[in-house]
Amino acid sequence: MAKKHFKSGFVAIVGRPNVGKSTLMNHVIGQKIAIMSDKPQTTRNKIHGVYTTEDAQIVFLDTPGIHKRQSKLGDYMNQTAFNTLGEVEAVLFLIDAAEGLGGGDRFIAEQLKQVKTPVILVLNKIDRIEPEALLPLIEQYRKLYDFAEIVPISAKMGNNVNTLLDQVQKYLPEGPQYYPDDQITDHPEQFVIAELVREKILHMTREEVPHSIAVMIEDMKVQENGVVHIMAVIFVERDSQKGIIIGKQGAMLKEVGKQARQDIQNLLGSKIFLELWVKVKKDWRNQERVLRDLGFHRDA
Ligand SMILES: Nc1nc2c(ncn2[C@@H]2O[C@H](COP(=O)(O)OP(=O)(O)OP(=O)(O)O)[C@@H](O)[C@H]2O)c(=O)[nH]1
């Protein structure tokens, strides 16, 4: 599925409650992909929405932890949010232009200074302010932080949202399409996790294992200790491919697991336990049910 010069990456959205994060996502994604989370999570990241075009894909992450103070003693953001913000390609910092600059925004700006990721300031709700008020407002925010870009929008009216998306794309590296174009699901993370595992295998085994392998997330649940337990099955077509993926005394599979686990932890923002299985499924590509389970469509 890899397209030439396709760009992709993760972008975190931060902003205090009510600034319009969900409204922006709804506008960007439209009704095409309904993203729902299993349960409300206060510190774990979740995928807010996935925006896909011909040549780029942006996976928007919600980063709730930035608002949570680590302890009563300090204002340091929690480790999850810190790791996420350090790993993504860009951060969208949404503010409410009609409310103006307040303590909540100052707090977030302070947290953002702890990471080096480019931050795009998004002034939302410009439909609610007089045009003359915009520049002085931008000046106030500029004093807080050295933003990579500043984009005024109205998420509700859709004003300037395309400009924002263009700006975001400037910060994406070349990368795979993590997520199918037209998938409607309540488990968006699973596609990305499967793709991350697949990517590691292809990268590590190079030419020896063809692109026909598939990865399926069989089970994913949060344990009582907060660790997310993920069971993934790697489907291959031949025993020889199974041998290559497992490697000598399991060394290859172990390395795949190690590298994938890093990426998945960064994505979810929580500790994970990744269980990998390799199964030979002859000619799996022709089996309708398997295809459906894997999230492919007939015409894909
Ligand atoms: N006038 C105007 N209202 C907006 C705009 N964007 C969002 N709103 C309104 O602001 C309110 C909050 O929007 P949400 O999208 O729910 O905000 P949120 O940041 O997702 O809020 P939390 O989920 O609490 O973090 C809603 O009533 C929206 O209709 C905008 O561009 N203009």
Q: Cα(215) to centroid of ligand 1, in Å?
A: 37
Q: Is the pLDDT of residue 15 over 60?
A: yes
- Going by pLDDT thresholds of 50, 70 and 90, the confidence category of residue 202 is confident
Q: Is the pLDDT at 265 greater than 80, yes or no?
A: yes
pTM for this prediction: 0.69
**d(CA 227, ligand 1 centre) in Å:** 32
For residue 19, report the distance from its CA to the centre of ligand 1, in Å.
5
Residue 299 — very low, low, confident or very high, per pLDDT cuts 50/70/90?
very low
| Nearest CA owner, ligand 1 atom 12 | 18
Ligand 1 atom with the smallest distance to the CA of 155 is 31
Dist. CA 18 → ligand 1 center (Å) = 5
134 versus 292: the higher-pLDDT residue is: 134
Token pair belonging to 177:
């399409």
Where residue 72 falls among pLDDT bands split at 50, 70, 90?
A: very low
pLDDT in tens, 220-250: 888 888 888 999 999 888 888 899 999 999 9
Asked whether 96 and 20 are in contact (CB, 8 A), the reply is yes
Tell me the average pLDDT of the chain.
81
Look at residue 36 in the predicted model and tell me its pLDDT: 37
Which residue from 22, 123, 159 has its CB within 8 A of the most atoms of ligand 1, so it is best to mutate? 22
> Has residue 73 got a pLDDT over 70?
no
Q: How far is the CA of 15 from the centre of ligand 1 (A)?
A: 11
pLDDT of residue 93: 97
Quote the pLDDT of residue 82.
75
Q: How far is the CA of 297 from the centre of ligand 1 (A)?
A: 35
Candidates 126, 156, 164: which one to mutate for ligand 1, based on the most atoms within 8 Å of Cβ? 156
Q: Which atom of ligand 1 is nearest to the CA of 23?
A: 15
Q: Which pLDDT does position 297 carry in this prediction? A: 46
Which tokens is 107 given?
A: 């707090």
Gap from CA of 28 to ligand 1 centroid (Å): 14
For the segment 183-204, the average pLDDT, to the nearest whole number, is: 75
Cβ contacts of 184-189, under 8 Å, gap ≥ 24:
184/32, 184/33, 184/34, 185/33, 185/295, 186/34, 186/35, 186/36, 186/38, 187/38, 187/217, 187/220, 188/33, 188/35, 188/47, 188/50, 189/46, 189/47, 189/220, 189/267, 189/268
CATH number, domain 188-293: 3.30.300.20
- The whole-angstrom separation of Cα 221 and Cα 92 is 29
Q: How much of the chain exceeds pLDDT 70, in percent?
A: 77
Distance separating alpha carbons of residues 166 and 270, to the nearest angstrom? 30
| Burial environment of residue 286 by CB neighbours within 10 A (0 to 12, 13 to 18, 19 or more) | exposed
Question: What whole-number distance in Å separates Cα of residue 286 and Cα of residue 291?
Answer: 8
- Within 6 Å (CB) of ligand 1, which residues are found? 15, 17-23, 124-125, 127-128, 154-156
**Bigger pLDDT: 50 or 168?**
168
Encode pLDDT of 57-70 as tens digits: 898 887 766 765 55
pLDDT computed for residue 37 by the predictor: 36
Model confidence at 38: pLDDT above 50: no
Per-domain residue ranges of the chain? 7-169, 188-293
- Give the position of tokens 């992709």: 8
Most informative mutation of 16, 18, 164 for ligand 1 (most atoms within 8 A of CB): 18
For the CA of 25, the nearest atom of ligand 1: 15
Q: How far is the CA of 124 from the centre of ligand 1 (A)?
A: 9
Architecture of domain 7-169: 3-Layer(aba) Sandwich (3.40)
| ipTM score assigned to the predicted complex | 0.97
Q: Residues 132-183: pLDDT tens digits? A: 999 999 999 999 999 999 999 999 999 999 999 999 999 999 988 777 665 5
- Calculate mean pLDDT across residues 109-125: 94
pLDDT at 115 over 50: yes
